[in-house]
A and B are shown apart, each in its own frame.
Chain A
Amino acid sequence: MVKKVLNIVSQGFRAIYEEQDDTILWLVHAMKNAGSDVSILLQGSAVTYIDTAQECPKLTFGAWKQSNPPNIIHDIEAMITKGISLYYVENDALARGVPAERIVKGVKPVKTSEVPGLFHKFDLVHQW
């Protein structure tokens, strides 16, 4: 039986420009591709990842121009399509003023008080 693993992502925007994605979201997606039963909980600054208004401008350094900037919304949608469950801490999103109507579809809200109940559904909880 494959273990069910909840992966908590709490540091948003950590290295997204240099990696062109969030390294933990990427890792979890790759783990899913490798057969793991993974889910994600976004909290803290990472809840901002679910705001569809985000758009990373392409950076330029001299003659080097970024052609493939990070697109976290696209990455999240790809994970949902792949069957990865994504949750976000609703209180953190509210506190940070993320407008409800701009939250990407398919990501499930969890109140802070409901987080322990979410933990109980998993064999392992990985706080990245």
Chain B
Amino acid sequence: MTSYVIVESQDLYEASNAKSTLELCKNLASSGSNVEIVFVQNAVLGLRGREFAGLLAETAKSGVKFHADLISLQARGIRGDEIPGFVVPISLDLVIDAMADGKKMIWH
């Protein structure tokens, strides 16, 4: 089974095409792939607040695993209890391990 890691770096509030990344993740998952999404930089802003809660939860339900860069969260004052429970704070080592494992990598 093919595995994908999508790194989302863009602010969901501002990048007109950022929401399409979540759509892509859902579509890849429904096509039978393992899919992980890693939120970095201003993308983590979309994890707090209600604006995208429904879309994120719906994407998670499709089987997509969610991660968020710990340093990006800390730099923006976003605490672990302020993001959905299915989002796991991680170090960027996870991305390198995924590359070394041969997962297909996409930066958005």
Contacts and interface: CB of A to CB of B under 8 A. Distances in A.
B82 A13 contact: no
Contact of B14 (A44, A53, A57): A44
Interface string B39-77: 001100100111100000000000000000001001111
Contact of B50 (A51, A52, A97): A97
B49 A96 contact: yes
B77 A57 contact: no
Contacts of B82: 97
Interface string B73-108: 011111100100000000000000000000000000
Interface residues on B, range: 10 to 19
B11 interface: yes
Interface in A91-111: 92, 94-98, 102
Contacts of A18: none
A19 interface: no
A54 B48 contact: no
A51 B45 CA distance: 12
A97 B49 contact: yes
Interface of B: 11, 13-14, 41-42, 45, 48-51, 71, 74-79, 82
17 contacts: A12-B76, A13-B42, A13-B76, A44-B11, A44-B14, A45-B14, A45-B42, A51-B77, A56-B74, A56-B75, A57-B71, A57-B74, A96-B13, A97-B49, A97-B50, A98-B77, A102-B77
Interface of A: 12-13, 16, 44-45, 48, 51-57, 70, 92, 94-98, 102
